[in-house]
Amino acid sequence: MSTFGVIAVVALTIIVLIAMGALLSYLSRTGSEKHADPDAELIEAVNAVLPQTQCAQCGYPGCRPYAQAIIKNDEPINRCPPGGEQTIEQLSTLLGTPVLALDTSCGQQKPEQVAVIKEDICIGCTLCIVACPVDAIVGAAKLMHTVIADECTGCELCIPPCPVDCIDLIQPEQTAASWQWPKPAS
Amino acid sequence: MGMFGKEKKACMQGPLLFGFHGGLQLQPNKRALQNSTDPITELEAPHELVIPLLDYNKNSIAPQVELNQHVNRGQLLAAGIIAPATGQVMAIEPRHIIHPETIKANAVVLEVDKASDNQSVHMANQANHDSTAWDTQLSAFLNMPDNVLQQSALYGLGGAGFPTASKLDAALGGIQTLIINAAECEPEIACDEALMQTEATHIARGIDALVQLTQCRHCLLAIEDSMPAAIDAMSAALKSINAQVKLTVIPTIYPTGAESSLIQTLTGRFIPHNEKPSDHGIVCFNVATAYALYQAIGGKALDSRVVSLGGSAMPNPLNVRVRFGSSVEAILLATGNASVINTARLRAGGPLSGFDLDTPQVPITAQTNALLAEPCITETPAQPCIRCGECSDVCPAKLLPQQLHWYAMSDDHEKCQQLNLDACIECGCCDLVCPASIKLTQSFRYAKSKAKHIAQHQQKTLDAEQRFALHEARVAKRKQEKAHAIEQRKQSLKARSKPQSDQIKAALERAKLSAKSKKPR
Ligand code: SF4
Ligand code: SF4
Ligand code: SF4
C-alpha cells in the first residue's frame, strides 16, 4: 500500500468517526428534548413520599437518587429506615407493588432525632458542614459550629467526620410551637 | 347538669339583636365578685417574675437583655415583650410555662427590686389622677399612633392575645363598625366586669381613642344583661367622651363573647372562620384592651391584668390585678388561697374554655383571665354516642360534633376538613350537653393540633429537599470547577513540558549511565 493510500484510509476513518459522533450526540440531544424522561413524574411522586432525611442509608446519596433507582433499576422499596413501615406502605400503594418488611441491613427505624454540637469542644474544623446534606450546620473555619435544630433531619452523616466526637444526637425537644393536644381516651 | 338551661330563645330576640346558633344559658357564678366589696385587689409584684420569650405563634424569640442586667419596668426584654417590673435578670433559661401539659420555653427570670418597683407604682397612680393631661395625650397619640403602639407591647386581653398593633393595622381605613366586647359570658370570669365597675371613665377614654383612630362609622359596646353595675358605670362614663358609642345590652348566653357569636348577635352577619371581621368592615376589641390603650397613651405599657380567682373550691375568691410573669403559686399565696395548692384541681381560664394545670409553679400571661380551684373528681368515662343530636343543637359554629368526633378519633383529617373542623371555636358547649360524657372538645383540639403538626412536618420535609438540591448543585459545581482547574493545569504543564522533558530525558540518561559505570561488580 502506498503512503497516500494509508493516509486516505486514516482520514476517511476519522471523518466517519466524527460524523457518527455528531449524529449520535444530535440524536441523544433531540431525544431528551422531544421526549422528556417518561419516568420523571413517577420519580417525583416517589421522592415526595420519601422522608428527605438524606441519610444515604438506602445506599444512594440521598432520597432523590434512591427514588430514581426504585423506578429505573427496580430497586426494592424497603431500603429507607427513616421512613420505616409508613413509607413502605405509601410506596407500595403508589407503585402497586407488595408491602415488604424493612430491609434491616440498611438500618433500623429510629425515633425522630436532631444533632447538637457540644460547643465548648468544637474546634471549628468545618468537616461536619461539608458532610451535612441539608446545610443545617453553620459556622466558619476555626470558629464554633452550631446545628440549626429546625433544619436538621437527624441523618447522622455529620457524626463520623467529627475528629473530636463533639456531636450528639438527641430527641427533639417538645416546644410550645410543636406541642399537640393528647388524644382523649376512646 | 342543672348548671344550664336551654330555654334561651325567648329572651334572645330583642328588637335590635340577631342572636346566633346554639349556645347555652349558664349560671354566671362569678364568685370573684360576689364575696368581696372591692372589685379589684392590686397585688404587689412577687420576688420573681418569669417572662417566657414566645411570640404570638408560640415560637421562641431572642432576648434583648443579658444576664445580670438591670432592667426598668416597661423596658423591652425581646421584640414585643416588656419587663413587668424593675429588677435584675437572674437567668435566661427554659422554664415551665402555663400550658395544658407541663412544657418549658426559654424565659427571662427577673428578680424584682421592690423599692424601685413600688416607686414606679406610686408614679403611675399619680399620672392616672392627672386628668387635664388626657386631651393633649390623646391628640399626640392620634398624630403618631405607631409610637405608642410599638412601645407599649399591647395585645388583646380577651383570650387570644393577638397583637393590637397588627389588628389595628389591618383595620385602619375601611372600618364601618367597631365593637367593644364586654360580654364576658363564661361562668366564673369577672375581670372585665370588675374593670368596668372601677375604671369606667378610663375605659371610655380608651374607646374614644379607638373610635377616633379607626374613624369607624358606628361603635357598639356590648355588655351582658347580668352585669347591671357595669352597665350603669359605663353608660355614665360614655357621656364624658366625644365619640358616639352605643351601649348594647345583650342576653347572657355562652359563648356570646366569642368574636364570631358577638358579631352575629349585633349585626346579623355570620363571618366564616377563614375570613377576618375586617374583611367585612368590622373590628372587635376587648374592653380591657381599650383600657390598656388608655394607659398606653398615658405612657404606661401593658404589664399586668385582672385575673378572676374562683371555682367552687377557692376559699377566698376575688379579682386581682397581677403583673405578667407572677406565678400561680405566688398569686394563691398572696390572696389567702394557699390551701388549694395541694388539695384542689387548678385550672387556668374558664370552666369551659380553660385547661387544668399540672403545677402552680407557672407564670401567668396576658391570656390568663381566670384561675379556678375545683374539687378533684374522677371523670365519668365516655359512653357510646346515642345520637341524640344535642351537641349540634348547641354548637355556635353550626358543626356536627358527633360526626366530627368520629373522624377526629380515627385521624381522618380529610373528613375533618370537609366537616369544617377549623371553624370549631373550642367553646365546650357540646361537651357540656353530651349525655354520654364524650370528650368532644378535646378530640377537636387534638385533631386541630395534629393537622397543624402534619403541615409543619410537610413544610420541613419540603425545605430539607430544597436545601439538599442546593447542596448537591453546589457540590457538583465545585467538583466541576476542580476538574476544570486540574485539566487546565495539565494543559499548561504539557504546553511548556516539551523542552523540559527533553532536558529531563537527557538528564535521566546521564544518570543511568553514570549509575551503571559506578555499579560495583
Ligand atoms: S434511607 Fe435516607 S437517603 Fe435513603 S431515601 Fe431514606 S431518608 Fe432518603
Ligand atoms: S367545642 Fe366546637 S364543636 Fe363543640 S360546640 Fe363548641 S364550636 Fe361546636
Ligand atoms: S350529644 Fe353526645 S350522645 Fe348526643 S349526639 Fe352528640 S356526641 Fe352523641
The CATH number linked to B188 is 3.40.50.11540
Question: Residue A21 is part of which domain span?
Answer: 7-36
Q: Determine whether the shortest distance from the Cβ of B306 to ligand 3 is under 6 A.
A: no
Residue A132 lies in a domain: yes
Q: Determine whether the shortest distance from the Cβ of B416 to ligand 2 is under 6 A.
A: no
Check residues B38 and B217 and name the one with the higher pLDDT: B217
**Closest ligand, as measured to the CA of A156:** 1
Helix (H) and strand (E) counts for chain A? 5, 4
Q: Does A3 score more than 60 pLDDT?
A: no
- Which residues of chain A have a CB within 8 Å of the CB of B470? 135
Regarding whether B137 and B20 lie in a shared domain, the answer is yes
Q: Cβ contacts of residue A120 below 8 Å, gap of 6+?
A: none
Regarding whether A100 and A118 lie in a shared domain, the answer is no
% chain A with pLDDT above 70: 80
pLDDT tens string A101-140 = 999 999 999 998 999 999 888 998 889 999 999 999 988 8
Residue A1 lies in a domain: no
Regarding whether A116 and A151 lie in a shared domain, the answer is yes
Tell me what pLDDT residue B5 has: 45
Name the 3-class secondary structure at A13.
helix
B8 within 8 A of B25, measured Cβ to Cβ:
yes
**Closest ligand, as measured to the CA of A102:** 1
- Residue B486's CATH number: 1.10.1060
The mean pLDDT value for A132-153 works out to: 86
Regarding whether A45 and A100 lie in a shared domain, the answer is yes
Residue A178 lies in a domain: no
Q: Determine whether the shortest distance from the Cβ of B409 to ligand 3 is under 6 A.
A: no
A153 falls in which pLDDT band (50, 70, 90)? Answer: very high
Separation between Cα atoms, residue B364 and residue B366, nearest integer Å: 7
Cis status of the peptide bond prior to B100, with omega within 30 of 0: no
Name the 3-class secondary structure at B113.
coil
Rounded mean pLDDT of chain B?
A: 87
Number of independent structural domains in chain B: 3
Q: Which residue has the cell 383571665?
A: B369
The mean pLDDT value for B468-480 works out to: 91
The mean pLDDT value for B468-481 works out to: 91
pLDDT tens string B335-357 = 999 999 989 999 999 999 899 99
Regarding whether A90 and A61 lie in a shared domain, the answer is yes
pLDDT tens string B169-214 = 777 777 899 999 999 889 999 999 999 999 999 999 999 999 999 9
Alpha-carbon gap: B156 to the closest alpha carbon of chain A (Å): 20
DSSP annotation of B256 reads T
Q: Which residue has the cell 375604671?
A: B199
User: Of B253, B321, B285, whose CA–CA distance to B149 is shortest?
Assistant: B285
Q: Does B61 score more than 70 pLDDT?
A: yes
Q: Cβ contacts of residue A144 below 8 Å, gap of 6+?
A: A117, A119, A122, A124
pLDDT tens string A60-93 = 999 999 999 999 999 999 999 999 999 999 999 9
Residue B504 lies in a domain: no
Residue A83: phi and psi, rounded to 5, are: -75, -35
Check residues A45 and B147 and name the one with the higher pLDDT: A45
Residue B215 lies in a domain: yes
Q: Does B15 score more than 80 pLDDT?
A: no
Q: Does A23 score more than 60 pLDDT?
A: no
Residue B515 lies in a domain: no
Nearest CA in chain B to A174: B103
Q: Does B1 score more than 60 pLDDT?
A: no
Regarding whether B196 and B329 lie in a shared domain, the answer is no
Which of B257, B285, B307 is the last residue in one of the domains?
Answer: B307
User: Of B98, B73, B107, whose CA–CA distance to B295 is shortest?
Assistant: B73
Q: Does B16 score more than 80 pLDDT?
A: no
Q: Which of B96, B465, B466 to mutate to test the interface with A (most CBs of A within 10 A)?
A: B465
Q: Cβ contacts of residue B152 below 8 Å, gap of 6+?
A: B82, B292, B295, B296, B300, B301, B302
Separation between Cα atoms, residue B348 and residue B303, nearest integer Å: 19
B427 within 8 A of B255, measured Cβ to Cβ:
yes
The mean pLDDT value for B389-411 works out to: 95
User: Of B72, B56, B151, B58, whose CA–CA distance to B110 is shortest?
Assistant: B72
Residue A2 lies in a domain: no
Rounded mean pLDDT of chain A?
A: 84
Nearest CA in chain B to A152: B464
The mean pLDDT value for A43-50 works out to: 94
Regarding whether B155 and B302 lie in a shared domain, the answer is yes
Check residues B168 and B424 and name the one with the higher pLDDT: B424
Separation between Cα atoms, residue B395 and residue B424, nearest integer Å: 9
Separation between Cα atoms, residue A167 and residue A128, nearest integer Å: 9
Residue B467 lies in a domain: yes
- Residue A130's CATH number: 3.30.70.20
Residue B62 lies in a domain: yes
Nearest CA in chain A to B467: A134
The mean pLDDT value for B404-418 works out to: 94
Regarding whether B331 and B293 lie in a shared domain, the answer is no
The mean pLDDT value for B46-63 works out to: 92
Q: Does B114 score more than 90 pLDDT?
A: no
A13 falls in which pLDDT band (50, 70, 90)? Answer: low
Q: Does B327 score more than 60 pLDDT?
A: yes
Q: Does A52 touch chain B (CB under 8 A)?
A: yes
Instruction: Inspect the interface and report whether the beta carbons of A53 and B464 lie closer than 8 Å.
Output: yes
% chain B with pLDDT above 70: 91
Residue B330 lies in a domain: yes
β-strand pairing of B177-182 with B282-286:
parallel
Q: Does A34 touch chain B (CB under 8 A)?
A: no
B246 within 8 A of B216, measured Cβ to Cβ:
no
Instruction: Inspect the interface and report whether the beta carbons of B60 and A175 lie closer than 8 Å.
Output: yes
C-alpha cell at A12: 476517511
Q: Does B134 score more than 90 pLDDT?
A: no
Separation between Cα atoms, residue B196 and residue B142, nearest integer Å: 24
Residue A126 lies in a domain: yes
Instruction: Indicate the range of B48-52, B167-171, B461-465 predicted with least confidence.
Output: B167-171
Q: Identify any residues that bridge with B94 across adjacent strands, giving them in sequence order.
A: B106
C-alpha cell at B123: 408614679
Regarding whether B143 and B37 lie in a shared domain, the answer is yes
B511 falls in which pLDDT band (50, 70, 90)? Answer: confident
Regarding whether B359 and B412 lie in a shared domain, the answer is no
The mean pLDDT value for B465-472 works out to: 92
Residue B241 lies in a domain: yes
The mean pLDDT value for A150-158 works out to: 92
Question: Residue B337 is part of which domain span?
Answer: 308-375
Regarding whether A168 and A135 lie in a shared domain, the answer is yes
Residue A144 lies in a domain: yes
Q: Which of B367, B463, B468 to mutate to test the interface with A (most CBs of A within 10 A)?
A: B468
Regarding whether A100 and A72 lie in a shared domain, the answer is yes
Alpha-carbon gap: B361 to the closest alpha carbon of chain A (Å): 17
Tell me what pLDDT residue B128 has: 58
- Residue A98's CATH number: 1.10.15.40
Residue B352 lies in a domain: yes
B25 within 8 A of B5, measured Cβ to Cβ:
yes
Residue A146 lies in a domain: yes
Check residues A38 and B439 and name the one with the higher pLDDT: B439
Regarding whether B299 and B312 lie in a shared domain, the answer is no
Which of B285, B307, B329 is the last residue in one of the domains?
Answer: B307
Alpha-carbon gap: B368 to the closest alpha carbon of chain A (Å): 16
Nearest CA in chain B to A183: B446
A30 falls in which pLDDT band (50, 70, 90)? Answer: very low
Q: Which of A134, A148, A158 to mutate to test the interface with B (most CBs of B within 10 A)?
A: A134
Separation between Cα atoms, residue B288 and residue B235, nearest integer Å: 16
With 0-12 CB in 10 A as exposed, 13-18 as middle and 19+ as buried, what is B406? middle
Considering only residues 77 to 136 of chain A, which have any Cβ-Cβ distance to chain B shorter than 8 Å?
A: 132-136
Q: Does A35 score more than 60 pLDDT?
A: no
Which of A73, A106, A139 is the last residue in one of the domains?
Answer: A106
Tell me what pLDDT residue B439 has: 93
Q: Does B403 score more than 80 pLDDT?
A: yes
Q: Which residue has the cell 377616633?
A: B212
Tell me what pLDDT residue B416 has: 95
Q: Which of B399, B434, B440 to probe ligand 3 with, by most ligand atoms within 8 A of CB? A: B434
Which of A91, A106, A121 is the last residue in one of the domains?
Answer: A106
Regarding whether B242 and B109 lie in a shared domain, the answer is yes
Q: Does B148 score more than 70 pLDDT?
A: yes
Q: Determine whether the shortest distance from the Cβ of B317 to ligand 3 is under 6 A.
A: no
Residue A101 lies in a domain: yes
Specify the residue with its C-alpha closest to ligand 3, atom 2: B434
Q: Identify any residues that bridge with B318 across adjacent strands, giving them in sequence order.
A: B309
End-to-end CA distance of chain A: 96
User: Of B254, B196, B190, B191, whose CA–CA distance to B221 is shortest?
Assistant: B196
What is the dihedral angle through the alpha carbons of B457, B461, B466, B472, rounded to the nearest 10 degrees? 150
**Closest ligand, as measured to the CA of B404:** 2
Residue A112: phi and psi, rounded to 5, are: -50, 135
Which helix or strand (DSSP H or E) is residue A130 part of?
Answer: helix A127-131
pLDDT tens string B287-297 = 999 999 999 99
Q: Which of B391, B424, B431, B432 to probe ligand 2 with, by most ligand atoms within 8 A of CB? A: B424
Give the global pTM.
Answer: 0.80
Q: What string of DSSP letters covers B62-89?
A: -BSS-TT-EE-TT-EEETTEE-SSSEEE
Regarding whether B178 and B283 lie in a shared domain, the answer is yes
End-to-end CA distance of chain B: 119
Instruction: Indicate the range of A1-10, A86-95, A96-105, B324-333 predicted with least confidence.
Output: A1-10
ipTM for the predicted complex comes to 0.78
Regarding whether A60 and A116 lie in a shared domain, the answer is no
Regarding whether A91 and A60 lie in a shared domain, the answer is yes
B454 CA distance to ligand 1 middle (Å):
20
Regarding whether B468 and B361 lie in a shared domain, the answer is no
Q: Does B46 score more than 50 pLDDT?
A: yes
Specify the residue with its C-alpha closest to ligand 2, atom 3: B401
Number of independent structural domains in chain A: 3
Instruction: Indicate the range of A26-35, A100-109, B116-125 predicted with least confidence.
Output: A26-35
Q: Does B105 score more than 90 pLDDT?
A: yes
Regarding whether A130 and A161 lie in a shared domain, the answer is yes
**Closest ligand, as measured to the CA of B402:** 3
Q: Which of A60, A66, A112, A157 to probe ligand 1 with, by most ligand atoms within 8 A of CB? A: A66
With 0-12 CB in 10 A as exposed, 13-18 as middle and 19+ as buried, what is B247? middle
Regarding whether B463 and B446 lie in a shared domain, the answer is yes
Regarding whether B62 and B120 lie in a shared domain, the answer is yes
Instruction: Inspect the interface and report whether the beta carbons of B101 and A47 lie closer than 8 Å.
Output: no
Q: Does B308 score more than 90 pLDDT?
A: yes
Which of B375, B394, B419 is the last residue in one of the domains?
Answer: B375
B514 falls in which pLDDT band (50, 70, 90)? Answer: confident
pLDDT tens string B256-306 = 889 999 999 999 888 988 898 988 999 999 999 999 999 999 888 889 999
